[in-house]
């Protein structure tokens, strides 16, 4: 998934990250991948993600919401990114974003997502992604 990958979770901060990423993809004629990760529990024995059928269904619903958000944001642009792809996964958010960064030219995340710790400058996901991503990362600050 070369180009720009933006992680979204339905929060206001991720919406702002999506808007920034879509605008940047338009300016640079890059492909845009919108990635949403439905978080799942870890196995107490292996630490691996436990993905139940209900998680697959939840990821599909998250994909539909992400597609709607991407369409709404890109329809407001004067020009379009070279392509827009929406992906939804079930798993651990940070490792999935870091894995996506291995093939991306740029990874975009919001400074705070759905975690609810508004007093933090960076949320736990954005701070971990900045520390471990394989490509440059843009953290879009939340506007209040």
- pLDDT at residue number 124: 81
Is the domain 8-140 a CATH 3.40.50.620 member?
A: yes
> Which letter does DSSP use for residue 92 in this model?
-
Give the per-residue pLDDT at 122.
Answer: 52
Task: Provide the residue-wise pLDDT of the chain in tens; the chain has 144 residues.
Answer: 589 999 999 888 999 999 999 999 999 999 999 999 999 999 899 999 998 999 989 999 999 999 999 999 999 999 999 999 999 999 999 999 999 999 999 999 998 655 444 444 456 888 899 999 999 999 998 876
pLDDT for 123: 60
Q: What is the pLDDT of residue 26?
A: 96
DSSP element (H, E) containing 16: helix 12-28
- The per-residue pLDDT for 113 is 57
Task: Report pLDDT for 139.
Answer: 95
Q: Are 49 and 59 in contact (CB under 8 A)?
A: no
Where in the chain are the domains? 8-140
CA-to-CA dists, residue 42 to 45, 49, 90, angstroms: 9, 5, 12
pTM, to two decimals: 0.89
CA dist., res. 12 & res. 110, Å (int): 9
Q: How many beta carbons lie within 10 A of that of residue 30, not counting itself?
A: 19
């Amino acid at each position: 998934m070369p180009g720009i990958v933006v992680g979204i979770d339905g929060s206001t901060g991720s919406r702002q990250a999506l808007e920034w990423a879509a605008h940047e993809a338009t300016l640079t004629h890059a492909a845009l991948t919108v990635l949403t990760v439905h978080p799942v529990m870890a196995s107490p024995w292996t630490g691996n993600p436990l993905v139940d059928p209900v998680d697959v269904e939840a990821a599909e619903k998250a994909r539909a919401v992400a597609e709607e958000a991407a369409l709404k944001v890109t329809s407001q642009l004067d020009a379009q990114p070279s392509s827009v792809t929406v992906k939804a996964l079930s798993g651990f958010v940070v490792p999935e974003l870091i894995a996506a960064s291995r093939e991306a030219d740029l990874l975009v995340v919001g400074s705070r997502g759905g975690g609810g710790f508004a007093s933090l400058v960076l949320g736990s996901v954005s701070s971990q992604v900045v520390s471990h991503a394989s490509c440059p990362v843009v953290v879009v600050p939340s506007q209040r």
